Structures are given as structure tokens and as C-alpha cells.
Amino acid sequence: MKAFEMEDLAARGALLVGILIVLSRLVKAALERLNRPDLLGYLFIGMALRLVEGTGLLRFVDGPQVLSFLAQLGIVALLFRIGLECTPKNLLRRLSGATRIWIANITLSLGAVLGVALFLLDWALLPSLFAAVALTATGIGVSVRIWRHTDRLDSAKGALMLDVAELDDLSGVVLLALLTALVPQLQAGLSADLVGPMALTLGLVLGKMALLALGGLLFAQYLEHPLTHWLHDLQPRPDLMISVLGIGLVGAGLAALLGFSAAIGAFFAGLIFSRDPLSVKIDASFDSLSDLFIPFFFLHVGFALDLSLLFGNLGAVLLLFAAAVVGKGLGSFMPVMNRLRPSSALTFAVALIPRSEITLLVMQRGLDLGVVSPDAFAVVVAVVILTMGTVPLALRLLLPPVTTT
């Protein structure tokens, strides 16, 4: 390719990226004013981009290729951010209160969605497993906004909700890694001969994850504090975040060498920087970088969604939505029904129903691997949109504003 052709291609790509960044910021600002999740806006921009691309208006630039590359950066930034926001030390102290709820809602969600996908929707095993794993995760961003607005986020129930959601995210990432490792064997179909090889694969993956976790623990115990403070003295914010992000990318690359995706490595990298008090500053300074890259992942998900497939799968959307709501709702309600008043237990359970980032990440991974069909992908994305749209309405009824006298 000649130099002027490369410059022309770069200019066209820059034009597309610039337009998407400006649109994303405008949508984010508008939805924040309406107290709605910005994720929905990014998805709709992606859907609109797909419609525009279908008319041939994007022929001047390879939009799908550009968006796919930026989406990969967005995934790494998203998982790094999720890891950075986790507080393992605090979570371990409160683990006894959240574990029963976490196990119950993960088990019932997994079972309900898997049962509906396999036996009512007649999906194949792999797309059913990806949908089930995806819908075990919780996306409580919309719930947090309402709990904060009604001055209940700092309550014991609010803290418990955050703990359970954090465990859901952790287990979602682990389950994604395990399921991805099993894809080659599951593609051959279930049989007694595969039990041994599958058990060996799971053992190897868990061993690698234990090795990764041990390395992260040693880093967090002995290196994180002196390193972050040395970097802070050397390069105060925002340069500090750039250095930390660079170290995080090294960790993501090392995880990839162990056989994990770079996104899984980014999650562990974020996790090891989450325990030092200085991480609060790191977290805050990461906002600009995450706001730049993360929307591209959701734009890509919206772009990958074929809206025409939804019209023939409305029944599947409703069935899977019901399974997602019942599984997560009952799994979160039953463990607390003896600890809270029925109305409080119901509010707590409803707050954990929304799905968002991890769910979309799992389904996008399945689509990229070719084991999740566009139909199944569209159905689960629609379920995510439904949970994020309906739960805030329910919570506003269940959580009236606190009145002060």
C-alpha cells in the first residue's frame, strides 16, 4: 500500500472514530440527565451504525474492522476497570453474609436459563451454556443509581447488594475462562469418553488461574504499595494512571501467554491494584481512559446485533427474560427472606436482576468463537436491554424517596 493510500485510510478511520467519540459523549451526557444507563445509548448507537453501514454510506472506511479493533481495547479497559473497582480485602471480611446469596442466585440463574435454552428454545449445548453463564452475572449500575438517589446505598442492605454483585462479576469471569477452555471438546458433543479430557482441561485451567492469582497476590502483598507510591512520587496523576495501565497491560499479556484471553489478564491486573489506598486515586484518574475506550465495546455489540432476527425470536426473548428474572430473583430473595421483611427482601432481589457488562462480554466471546449464533446473541442482548429498562421502574415503586422532617 502506497504512503498516500495509508494516509487516506488513516484519515477516514480518524473521521469515523472522532464521530463515534463525540456521539458517545453526547449520549452519555443526555442519559445521565435522564438518570438512565449510558450503556443502552452506546448499544443503540451501534445498532444505528449497522443500519447506516447497510446503506453503503460507510464504504469510504472499513467501519467493522476499525470498530472491532477498538472494541478489543474496550474489553481490556472494561475488565481492568472491573478488577480495579473490586475490593477483595473488604469482600473477604463480609464474605459470610454474601456467600449464601451469591451461590443461590448463581445456581438458580444458571439452571433456569440453561433449562429454558435447552428444552424450551431447543438451542444447542454450547449457545445454551454461554447464555446461562452470561446471565449469571449482575449489572447493578442502574440499581445503584436509584439506591443512591433514595439515600439507601450506604445501608447494610446496600453494602450487601454490592458484595453479592461483586461476587457475581468474579464468578462470571471465572466461568467464562472455564467455558472458553472447554469449547473445543464440547463442540465434539458430550460423551463418556470426553469426561476425562474435560476434567483434565478444567484442572489445567484452574491450575493456571491459581498460578495467576498467586502471582497477583504476591505482587499485591509486596510490590503494589511501594510501586504505586514510587510512581505517584515520580509521576503524579494523571501520569500515574498511564504507568499503572502499562503495568496492567504487561499482566494481561502474561495471562494471554498462559492461555487466557488478554481481557481475563486485564481483570486480574486491575484486581491486584485494588487493595492499596492510593488505588482510589488511580481509579479516579482512570475515568477518562475508560470513558474513551469502553464505549467502543458496547458500540461493537450493538453493531453486531441483527435487529431483523429479533422479530422472529420475540417468544425466545420473553422466555429467556422470564428465566433470567426468576432465577436471579428467587436466588437472591430466598436466602434473605428470613433476615429481612418481605418487602425489603423483594427490593433487594429486584436490585440484583439487571444484567449488563459481563453478560454482553460472555455473549460477544461466544459469537467471536463461532459457537453462539446471531439469533442467540440477539436474544440475550434483548434480555439485557429489558432488564436494564424494567428494573429501574420496579425499584422506583419499591424504593420511594426518603423524606426528612
| pLDDT (mean) for 176-202 | 85
pLDDT tens-digit map of 98-136:
889 999 999 999 999 999 999 999 999 999 999 999 999
Please state, for a pLDDT cut of 90, what percent of the chain lies above it: 34
Of 26 and 291, which is predicted with more confidence?
26
Task: Say which residue the cell 464474605 belongs to.
Answer: 95
Whether residue 194 has pLDDT greater than 60:
yes
- Whole-model pTM: value is 0.88
Query: Given this structure, which CATH class describes domain 79-293+307-398?
Result: mainly alpha
What is the DSSP code string of 125-188?
HHHHHHHHHHTTS--THHHHHHHHHTT-TTSHHHHHHHHHHHHHHHHHHHHHHHHHHHHHHHTT
**Given this model, what pLDDT does residue 105 score?**
93
> Domain map of the chain by residue range?
79-293+307-398
Whether residue 405 has pLDDT greater than 50:
no
- Could you give the maximum distance between any two Cα atoms of the chain, in Å? 73
Distance between CA 157 and CA 12 in Å, rounded?
A: 50
Measured in degrees and rounded to the nearest 5, phi and psi for residue 309 equal -70, -25
Mean per-residue pLDDT of the chain: 82
> 218-232, 305-319, 356-370: lowest mean pLDDT where?
218-232
Cell of 88: 477483595
> 72-76, 80-84, 274-278, 368-372: lowest mean pLDDT where?
274-278
pLDDT tens-digit map of 323-356:
999 999 999 999 999 888 898 899 999 999 999 8
